[in-house]
A and B are shown apart, each in its own frame.
Chain A
């Protein structure tokens, strides 16, 4: 519990915005269980809204600013993510879910427009422009992937009037996030990955991580309503690195077994011998340093960050105080311990490389880890390609507080949920946990399903939500080239409404993993065969019936005996020729 409190405190410290300088950056390192390391990068640049409107960009990137102004976007949130946050082992998400996405790309924005149609056309402009800026397939967010959430999102920024702001939300769960998305992301930073903590970001390590998410958030912030407004751009990168995996040298990445002397063996096993070993879990924290883990060295502080005060401390590590940390640098640096002792922050030297070295160490106190407010898992039940049911299991670990949350589902049109089959079940309570439902059904090829539920899960209980769905079969041109891989259904977004509240307006979120739907597939190789065979059957029916209808039945002996086939045709021709010849003779 104590570690949890200190954890809360340190997060509050980091989250606390300080309006001194216009550019802030901070890297928080937190060792997690099973030899993993969370690295949470945060970059924030401010631009006064007056200069922003005048297109006089200083720290705010011009490329992004112009796109936002062109599309009349007042607030923007963009997520690129790969992997799954393992809440059971890793605990609370670093930004309480407010900056972490789930697999693929997720984008939502508040767009200023007078009508819904205008908002949608501006949204299309926005996604197409961002698609070019981030080298991502964001342009595939069309009407079928766009929804307008009702209770799951609130604006984070201060908006003068919210009446003509439209929230639009789109996801691309199948988008593969990779290094071509990181490069434009780093280019938006004032130090462009050349100095400061961003110099640690390397595509090879970032996209090799067990979980990684990149977020871009733009919002207007006002000191007092309508005055002294700034446009704040926040970029965050969170990654969970497997330390052993990251330490493998790039030119020799194949894992090899440790020599037996380095393995801790279970000597109680009967087969234990000098050459046989049952390895025990290591009870020591692994040794690592920044250069090894990130594959790049930290090139000192970014000169644009504050030089004094807590904002100048751009590298923090969140470990129990007993953990030994050595600093390896040639420049000037300062180290400060926070009151709770579990957070050590460093002010980086400018122009000199900086490295933290943590030796292998046996620890007596546990790692710093926050308990999530909810655990959520979503899966598909049933077999076959025709139908199935979705099951969402949400667990409330708190023993005292019921948790109220909003559950947002944005499903592709070819996955057709049956709302009458929704069952919400909490075994420990008789009260109906389903408080409110917003539902907009899908229309084939026009829009997807939008389902939002407000639910309450009682303390120390598990809520199970299930509903049936049917999978549509598509036209053969609508399948992607890898049709048998299946289609992705976007992750569900869970927003905690109460009693927990976030310190700022970011909100508390959870995202489930996406679902993989295997749809029935036609045979892609035979459109011609199908057209021919079906037409043959229809022609047989039609020909047979109309042949009977338009012809007359007569006795078989009444018909002149004319041999059919080729012989008949030839005989007929000969008769015709003879007739012609005969006529000719007559006229002569």
Chain B
């Protein structure tokens, strides 16, 4: 059920036109959205990117300061564009194109059909699926994606890299996969955790294509080495560009140590505002360990469904990383429709969607009450971020249950539609 060219062109043209129309019709909207804490975090904000560009073009090191925390190679690339404040069209076009490319990658993932049937596992419900067009439309017209695109946050670039890495892994294209995954890791660090499940996916895809694939060990070593080389090359290029290794502390150091406590939709900021100084380092370690712990657990248990593991991990990132934004959640929520066959097995869809909706409407309102109206305090927004994270984690947990139940139906068809228990 591949996306036919006409349908695809119409869909992409519509989405592109909608974005450009919004940019043109509401010229103040992009800046307003870029100022929203839900969309722009200290590590992805467009305003900070502009400041970094300004410092870079004026020969001040952007990393010798506390404002710019994004990757160095973005600077020479984006400095080619005309200034966003004078000629916003070029930047708007860039972010629209990035969104369309991400949608294209998502379409490719859907086309491979690896969500429901992989080398080692084929779901008994694989016939229940949405067309690629529907999935792509779900991504392109999701209000979260639209808002993130309008805010021009650099999470869009990370999302593009992650989706392309998934697409390339499901197609079995090793080199491109390694390049885009290292680019994603270079931009935001945490996509590195997607490497094990995507490597498994790549291996399966390669084995499907040619029956004489290398041994798993050689394959893993080769690709790990390739990833290290690609990441290393990007880092060395950045160091050559900025003239020092200071950028490591200002980009990855900030993600690891959280010196900037600007509010966002995640769980870390308020926790570390209120944390006692002597326990700060301990809890930073615990929180990062917590994020990293999902990758091995999920990859080992769900070895047969690596694409599902990768999608679930993007959900984990949207909840548990230090600077998550709505753009991360948008990525996860648009990957969910790939697993349409699991929907009948999910138990808490109403609760989860209700709490996500509740948080998306009340979040901005409560933030306004706290910061602008002064009639609420920080706990208002904090409570909403808790609800948001809880809603997303219900979706993650529920879809995981559905995936395991689906697996059980294949292993033991006699238990289909029967009540099961965990032991």
A445: Cβ under 8 A from any B Cβ: yes
A439: Cβ under 8 A from any B Cβ: yes
A531–B378 contact, CB under 8 A? no
Interface window among A32-40, A48-56, A58-66, A518-526: A518-526
Which residues of chain A from 554 to 588 have a CB within 8 Å of any chain B CB? 554-557, 559
A258: Cβ under 8 A from any B Cβ: no
A527–B378 contact, CB under 8 A? no
A542-556 near B? 1/0 per residue, CB < 8 Å: 101111111111111
A441–B64 contact, CB under 8 A? yes
- Which residues does chain A contribute within 8 Å of B418, judged by CB atoms? 555-557
A240: Cβ under 8 A from any B Cβ: no
Who on chain B is nearest to A414 by CB? B66
Are A555 and B55 CB-contacts (below 8 A) given A531-B275, A546-B297?
A: no
- Which residues does chain B contribute within 8 Å of A557, judged by CB atoms? 418-419
Which residues of chain A from 377 to 432 have a CB within 8 Å of any chain B CB? 383-387, 413, 416, 418-420
Q: List 5 interface pairs A-B (beta carbons < 8 Å), by A numbering.
A: A384-B371, A437-B58, A542-B290, A545-B397, A555-B412
A278 to B123, CA, bound (A): 93
B415: Cβ under 8 A from any A Cβ: yes
Interface window among B132-140, B152-160, B265-273: B265-273
- Which residues does chain A contribute within 8 Å of B294, judged by CB atoms? 545
Interface window among A173-181, A467-475, A490-498, A502-510: A467-475
CB distance from A386 to the nearest CB of B (A): 5
A553–B408 contact, CB under 8 A? yes
A445 to B379, CA, bound (A): 25
A143: Cβ under 8 A from any B Cβ: no
A530: Cβ under 8 A from any B Cβ: yes
A533–B386 contact, CB under 8 A? yes
A134: Cβ under 8 A from any B Cβ: no
A475 to B276, CA, bound (A): 9
A548–B397 contact, CB under 8 A? yes
B378–A522 contact, CB under 8 A? yes
CB distance from B363 to the nearest CB of A (A): 14
A444: Cβ under 8 A from any B Cβ: yes
Are A472 and B260 CB-contacts (below 8 A) given A541-B320, A556-B421?
A: yes
- Which residues does chain A contribute within 8 Å of B382, judged by CB atoms? 530
B401–A527 contact, CB under 8 A? no
A441–B67 contact, CB under 8 A? yes
A8 to B49, CA, bound (A): 51
- Identify the interface centre among A385, A439, A446, A530: most chain B CB within 10 Å of its CB: A530
A497 to B45, CA, bound (A): 39
Which residues of chain A from 290 to 338 have a CB within 8 Å of any chain B CB? none
Interface residues of A (CB under 8 A from B): 383-387, 413, 416, 418-420, 437, 439-446, 470, 472-477, 520-523, 526-527, 530-531, 533-534, 537-538, 540-542, 544-557, 559
B175: Cβ under 8 A from any A Cβ: no
- Identify the interface centre among B37, B64, B393: most chain A CB within 10 Å of its CB: B393
- Which residues does chain A contribute within 8 Å of B277, judged by CB atoms? 475, 477
- Which residues does chain A contribute within 8 Å of B196, judged by CB atoms? none
Who on chain B is nearest to A383 by CB? B372
CB distance from A180 to the nearest CB of B (A): 31
Are A419 and B372 CB-contacts (below 8 A) given A472-B260, A527-B276, A537-B393?
A: no
A416–B270 contact, CB under 8 A? no
- Which residues does chain A contribute within 8 Å of B421, judged by CB atoms? 553-556, 559
B contact face: mostly helix, strand, loop, or mixed: helix
A contact face: mostly helix, strand, loop, or mixed: mixed
- Which residues does chain A contribute within 8 Å of B377, judged by CB atoms? 521-523
- Which residues does chain A contribute within 8 Å of B374, judged by CB atoms? 385
- Which residues does chain A contribute within 8 Å of B262, judged by CB atoms? 472-473
Of the residues A419, A444, A474, A545, contact of B66 by C-beta under 8 Å: A444
Q: A419-B51, A545-B396 are in contact. List 14 more A-B contacts (CB 8 A).
A: A418-B47, A442-B66, A472-B261, A475-B272, A520-B378, A538-B320, A541-B396, A544-B393, A553-B421, A555-B412, A555-B415, A556-B418, A556-B420, A559-B421
A386 to B301, CA, bound (A): 44
Are A439 and B60 CB-contacts (below 8 A) given A520-B378, A553-B404, A555-B420?
A: yes
Who on chain A is nearest to B367 by CB? A386
Of the residues A473, A531, A533, contact of B263 by C-beta under 8 Å: A473
- Which residues does chain A contribute within 8 Å of B423, judged by CB atoms? 551-552, 554, 559
Are A443 and B66 CB-contacts (below 8 A) given A420-B50, A534-B267, A545-B400?
A: yes
Interface residues of B (CB under 8 A from A): 35, 37, 47, 50-51, 53-55, 58, 60, 64-67, 85, 259-263, 267, 269-277, 287, 290, 293-294, 297-298, 301, 319-320, 370-372, 374, 377-379, 382, 386, 389-390, 393, 396-397, 400-401, 404-405, 408, 412, 414-415, 418-423
A526 to B274, CA, bound (A): 8
A64 to B383, CA, bound (A): 55
B290–A538 contact, CB under 8 A? yes
CB distance from B81 to the nearest CB of A (A): 14
- Which residues does chain B contribute within 8 Å of A441, judged by CB atoms? 55, 60, 64-67
Question: How many interface contacts (CB-CB < 8 Å) are there between A and B?
Answer: 169
- Which residues does chain A contribute within 8 Å of B269, judged by CB atoms? 473
Who on chain B is nearest to A387 by CB? B35
B273–A522 contact, CB under 8 A? yes
A462 to B212, CA, bound (A): 78
A527–B275 contact, CB under 8 A? yes
A521–B400 contact, CB under 8 A? no
A442 to B250, CA, bound (A): 12
- Which residues does chain A contribute within 8 Å of B390, judged by CB atoms? 537, 540
- Which residues does chain B contribute within 8 Å of A559, judged by CB atoms? 421, 423
Who on chain A is nearest to B35 by CB? A387
- Which residues does chain A contribute within 8 Å of B320, judged by CB atoms? 538, 541
- Which residues does chain A contribute within 8 Å of B386, judged by CB atoms? 533-534, 537
- Which residues does chain B contribute within 8 Å of A386, judged by CB atoms? 35, 37, 371-372
Who on chain A is nearest to B378 by CB? A522
A28 to B51, CA, bound (A): 50
B66–A544 contact, CB under 8 A? no
CB distance from A485 to the nearest CB of B (A): 14
B67–A416 contact, CB under 8 A? yes
Of the residues B55, B271, B422, contact of A534 by C-beta under 8 Å: B271
A420–B274 contact, CB under 8 A? no
A475–B273 contact, CB under 8 A? yes
A522–B270 contact, CB under 8 A? yes
Who on chain A is nearest to B48 by CB? A418
B259–A444 contact, CB under 8 A? yes
CB distance from A294 to the nearest CB of B (A): 44
B65–A443 contact, CB under 8 A? yes
A537–B66 contact, CB under 8 A? no
Of the residues A534, A538, A546, contact of B270 by C-beta under 8 Å: A534
A69 to B319, CA, bound (A): 58
Query: What 4 A-B pairs come out closest when comparing CB atoms?
Result: A441-B65, A420-B54, A541-B393, A556-B419
Who on chain B is nearest to A556 by CB? B419
A533 to B270, CA, bound (A): 11
A419 to B382, CA, bound (A): 31
A542 to B319, CA, bound (A): 11
Of the residues A419, A526, A540, A556, contact of B55 by C-beta under 8 Å: A419
Are A520 and B267 CB-contacts (below 8 A) given A441-B64, A551-B422?
A: no
A553–B261 contact, CB under 8 A? no
Of the residues A523, A534, A542, A548, contact of B401 by C-beta under 8 Å: A548
B274–A530 contact, CB under 8 A? yes
Who on chain A is nearest to B319 by CB? A541
A544–B51 contact, CB under 8 A? no
Who on chain B is nearest to A549 by CB? B301
B270–A444 contact, CB under 8 A? no
A539 to B68, CA, bound (A): 33
Of the residues A442, A542, A552, contact of B422 by C-beta under 8 Å: A552
CB distance from B44 to the nearest CB of A (A): 15
Who on chain B is nearest to A442 by CB? B66
A463 to B125, CA, bound (A): 71
B393–A384 contact, CB under 8 A? no
- Which residues does chain A contribute within 8 Å of B379, judged by CB atoms? 523, 526
A445–B259 contact, CB under 8 A? yes
CB distance from A60 to the nearest CB of B (A): 41
